[in-house]
């Protein structure tokens, strides 16, 4: 059964700043969903509330039929949702392979450390490194990778958790065009295998070519949604981006 993700009336404020305001979104399962909007429109705060990194002030997040509004990030991950971050979160002094081995789902520290010697975990890590195209770097320290390669490493780490829903926060940010093409191709491949994507991205060319469903945020709330062609023609979107 395809895992579903639904958000209803989500709100989050920081002091007097209303970052997310009564946001309700149903993401399309099995599709590539995108979230776009001007800087400061609440996209990353929305992401952080959905994935349990910060606690929403109001509203509900439902994942696979479970209310996860106040759940920890690890419980949300165990229910099938993985995410990347706007700024890569990797272990810089660990090797590429070691970074993936610590990403294996384990209920305890002992289990996590044990995965470093687990042949099954090592084999799975090498499969994902090969899929993202950095298997030749498995013994390199992560800090020595280019920024684009670190993005691929972070994605491989997300995939080690075998999530059915993958949320990516600006996967193309700071990445050269060749690696943007590789990341785009990976998203298409993984989506074709049945994984749902929710992508926050400022690269409009990438968004419009990759997405099945686009949600537009402005001033903390969704103002439009639909297929890319529909969203591009929406007067509310033009006003939010261009002030026209």
Percent of the chain residues past pLDDT 70, beyond the cut: 93
Confidence of residue 109 (pLDDT cuts 50, 70, 90): very low
CATH code given to domain 1-80+163-244: 3.40.50.300
* Section 223-236 average pLDDT: 90
Q: Cα separation of 10 and 85, whole Å?
A: 20
Share of the chain above pLDDT 90, in %: 76
Query: Is it the case that residue 113 has pLDDT exceeding 70?
Result: no
Alpha helices in 88-244 (DSSP H): 96-101, 109-114, 119-132, 147-160, 177-192, 204-210, 228-232, 235-242
Confidence at residue 216, expressed as pLDDT on a 0 to 100 scale: 94
Report the pLDDT value the prediction gives residue 87, as an integer from 0 to 100: 87
Taking the domains of the chain in order of start, what are their residue ranges?
1-80+163-244, 91-162
Average pLDDT of every residue of the chain: 90
Whether residue 244 is predicted with pLDDT greater than 80 in this model: the reply is no
Instruction: Please check the confidence at residue 65 and state whether its pLDDT lies above 70.
Output: yes
Query: Above 60 in pLDDT, residue 211?
Result: yes
Contact 125, 94 (CB under 8 A): no
């Amino acid at each position: 059964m395809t895992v579903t993700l639904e958000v209803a009336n989500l709100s989050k404020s920081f002091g007097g700043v209303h970052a997310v305001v009564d946001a309700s979104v149903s993401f399309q399962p099995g599709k590539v969903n995108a979230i776009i909007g001007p800087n400061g429109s609440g996209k990353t705060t929305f992401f952080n509330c959905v994935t349990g990194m910060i606690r929403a002030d109001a509203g509900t997040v439902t994942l696979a039929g479970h209310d996860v509004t106040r759940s920890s990030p690890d419980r949300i991950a165990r229910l099938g949702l993985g995410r990347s971050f706007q700024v890569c979160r990797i272990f810089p002094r660990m090797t590429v392979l070691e970074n993936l081995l610590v990403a294996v789902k384990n209920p305890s520290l002992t289990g996590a450390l044990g995965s470093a010697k687990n042949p099954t975990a090592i084999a799975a890590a090498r499969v994902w490194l090969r899929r993202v195209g950095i298997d030749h770097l498995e013994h390199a320290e992560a800090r020595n990778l280019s920024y684009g390669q670190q993005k691929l490493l972070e994605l491989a780490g997300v995939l080690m958790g075998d999530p059915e829903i993958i949320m990516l926060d600006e996967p193309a940010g700071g990445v050269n065009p060749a690696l943007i093409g590789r990341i785009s191709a990976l998203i298409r491949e993984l989506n074709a295998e049945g994984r749902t994507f929710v992508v926050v991205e400022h690269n409009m060319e990438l968004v419009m070519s990759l997405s099945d469903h686009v949600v537009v945020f402005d001033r903390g709330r969704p103002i439009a949604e639909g297929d890319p062609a529909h969203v591009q023609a929406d007067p509310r979107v033009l006003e939010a981006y261009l002030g026209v």
